[in-house]
Amino acid sequence: MSSFNEAVILTVGINVLLALGYWIAVSTGKYSFGHTAFMAIGAYTASILTVNFSWPLPVAMVAAGVTAAVAGGLIGWMALRLSLLYLAIITFVFSQLVNLLISQWDYVGGASGMLGMTGTTVPLVVGCVLLAVGYLVLLSRSRLGLAHKAIREDERAAMASGLRITRIAVGAFATSAAVTGVAGALSAHQLMVITPELFGPHQALLIILYCVLGGVEYFWGAAIGAIALSLLPIYFDWLNEWYEIVYGLLFVALMIVRPQGLIGRGGAGGVRLPRLIPRRERESVG
Amino acid sequence: MAEPLLRVSAVTKHFQGVEALGAVDLEVAGGSVHGVVGPNGAGKTTLLNVVSGYVPPDEGRVVLGGRDVTRLTPQRRVPLGIVRTFQNIRLFGGLTVLENVLLGQHSRAVTGARSLWPLRTGGDRRLRAEAERSLELFGLTDYRGRRAAELPYGLQKQLEMARALAARPKVLLLDEPASGMTAEDRRSLVPRIRELRDEGLTVVVVEHDMDVISNICDHVTVLNFGRRLTDGPPGQVLASDEVRTAYLGT
């Protein structure tokens, strides 16, 4: 395999993993605007362990996933009971905070970054994607997956059916953070050098767009979104500086024509992006 | 009256200074159908919200079978047996009819890592078969794979009730079950609620349709301006001058 093709597969695979991880949180209707925090936590945890402590990468990836899951669980527990707007703000601020801490932390190279990681391999990335897909296939056919969808659809109705919505949503958020952390670990070992800049708002937005482009209803929508958005810049580089404008216009057109994304179903009950500020419920006293 | 299954004691609730409920008492005997009626704004839905846990009372207690549930969240009350429907139907519109009923069973279903098992395996197979039977009972079998949002209003009401019953409640709270229904659907509602009572279920129903109330209720409580006006058997209560004045303004 040529090194170009290998690089393409690694990039696409890691981005698919990021999209699938993000989708787990989205399956409960919770949109984070700072998932890069978990990506950074995973990237730096794994890099510290492989570079400074000579851990094998797969073991370091597990540690990265667990660390990101703990962070995701804590943030989720604090923020998931609030409206989506607050969740967006809290997750965004958290990601900025993580970024700031990393850029001030000399142990990991501060703002100039960390290096010394050895490259990852195609089988490792593909194996992780397959594991994530396996988990999501299981989730989609299970009662837990049904509970995720119920919370996304209507939290009050979910409560009326006895769903412990906070517990389920926090669990989903922590799992989502874990997968994102593992993707971060892989990304760090692909790039071999990481700086806080890599985990900024631009990357956070990209992860959201993977899901939104493909459609948030099914996990393979997120995967397809990630594949499309990873390949576009590679094969459409002839657009040069027009690239980002075309990109933006494509998204605006998609939101107007297919608000449910490329894969999602439309019509009554179709899954669309939620309102950041929920409509005020009229309290009936009658 | 024997020890009631559900007891609401001196419940008070204010919304922005306005009293929605003022020291309301309610005692619901097990295996009975208890109606709550009153003019618009009397506090009927607020009372249902307090009993189901959606609205915390400022004062007072809600006791189910001797257990104080006042501080419990709605989702913790469901496994104890308090399940409700809503005035404005709340279904999982993007999910199928069958999935809605399966979700109603959630409090009785597997938990933890086993909740990741496919729905057709283990103990869930039994629950799934039960959900299919419930769809048959409510005439929804033909729609089992349709999204709930696509059903006509009457069937959505039926589905909401099927979902609530899937939790195997001890007390079923129905908020205006007949509103928006066709005359035919209303006629089928009355025997269905009676059937549920005969099977031992306790039902609290908020309803404006007095025909429905007088046909299904064993006991009626009348609220007016957030206060309990009177209660008793439906024939006696609905015929009283006090109630007619409050309710009909005549």
The full DSSP string for B170-236 is SEEEEESTTTT--HHHHHHHHHHHHHHHHTT-EEEEE-S-HHHHHHH-SEEEEEETTEEEEEE-HHH
Helix (H, G, I), strand (E, B) or coil at A232: helix
CB-based contact A138 B148, cutoff 8 Å: no
Average pLDDT for chain A? 89
Nearest-Cα distance to chain B for A149, in Å, is 8
- Asked if A192 and A115 touch (Cβ cutoff 8 Å), the reply is yes
**Tokens representing residue A7 in the block:** 């690089």
**Residue A279: what are its φ and ψ, rounded to 5°?**
-60, 140
- Residue B2: what pLDDT? 67
Predicted TM-score of the model (pTM): 0.89
Select the residue of A138, A139, A153 nearest B92 (Cβ to Cβ): A153
CB-based contact A143 B109, cutoff 8 Å: yes
Nearest alpha carbon to residue A162 among B75, B162, B168, B71 = B75
Q: Is the pLDDT of residue A286 over 60?
A: no
Give the ranges where A162-242 is alpha helix by DSSP (H).
165-191, 201-214, 219-235
Nearest alpha carbon to residue B160 among A227, A83, A156 = A156
Q: How many CB atoms lie within 10 A of CB A169?
A: 28
- Asked if A34 and A87 touch (Cβ cutoff 8 Å), the reply is no
**Tokens representing residue A274 in the block:** 């939620």
Nearest-Cα distance to chain B for A226, in Å, is 24
Q: Which regions in chain B score pLDDT beneath 70?
A: 1-2, 120-123, 248-250
Query: Distance of CA A256 to CAs A252, A272, B47, Å?
Result: 6, 12, 43
Per CB-CB distance under 8 Å, the chain B contacts of A217 are: 94
Give the ranges where A120-164 is alpha helix by DSSP (H).
122-140, 143-153, 155-160
- Asked if B231 and B217 touch (Cβ cutoff 8 Å), the reply is no
Q: Is the pLDDT of residue A210 over 60?
A: yes
- Residue A281: what pLDDT? 55
Select the residue of B117, B147, B163 nearest A161 (Cβ to Cβ): B163
CA distance B225 to B24: 11
- Residue A282: what pLDDT? 52
CB-based contact B91 A156, cutoff 8 Å: no
Per CB-CB distance under 8 Å, the chain A contacts of B79 are: 162
Residue to mutate among B12, B85, B99, B116, with most A CBs inside 10 A, is B116
Percent of chain A past pLDDT 90, that is, above it, reads 66
- First CA to last CA distance, chain B: 32
**Tokens representing residue A34 in the block:** 């700072």
pLDDT tier at A279, thresholds 50, 70, 90 = low
Q: Which is more confident, A126 or A202?
A: A126
Range of lowest pLDDT (A98-102, A129-133, A278-282, B18-22): A278-282
**Residues A16-49: tens digit of each pLDDT:** 999 999 999 999 999 999 899 999 999 999 999 9
Q: Is the pLDDT of residue A88 over 80?
A: yes
- In A, minimum Cα distance to B93 occurs at A269
Nearest-Cα distance to chain B for A26, in Å, is 15
Nearest-Cα distance to chain B for A134, in Å, is 12
- A→B contacts (Cβ < 8 Å), by residue, are 138-139, 141-144, 146-147, 149-150, 153-154, 156-165, 217, 267-271, 283-286
Per CB-CB distance under 8 Å, the chain B contacts of A286 are: 38, 40-45, 87
- In B, minimum Cα distance to A144 occurs at B115
CB-based contact B118 A138, cutoff 8 Å: yes
If 0-12 CB within 10 Å is exposed, 13-18 middle and 19+ buried, where does residue B106 land? Answer: buried
Select the residue of A144, A149, A165 nearest B115 (Cβ to Cβ): A144
Q: Which range is most confident: A78-82, A266-270, B104-108?
A: B104-108
Nearest-Cα distance to chain A for B106, in Å, is 6
Nearest-Cα distance to chain B for A136, in Å, is 10
CA distance A141 to B74: 26
User: Which residue in this structure is represented by tokens 């990681």?
Assistant: A117
**Residues A230-252: tens digit of each pLDDT:** 998 888 778 777 877 877 788 78
Q: Where are the beta strands (DSSP E) in chain B?
A: 6-15, 18-28, 33-37, 59-64, 67-68, 82-84, 171-175, 202-206, 219-224, 227-232
Beta bridge partners of B59: B12
- Residue A167: what pLDDT? 93
- Residue A283: what pLDDT? 47
Number of residues that make up chain A: 286
**Residues A139-165: tens digit of each pLDDT:** 999 999 999 999 999 999 999 999 999
Q: Which helix (H) or strand (E) holds A115?
A: strand A114-115
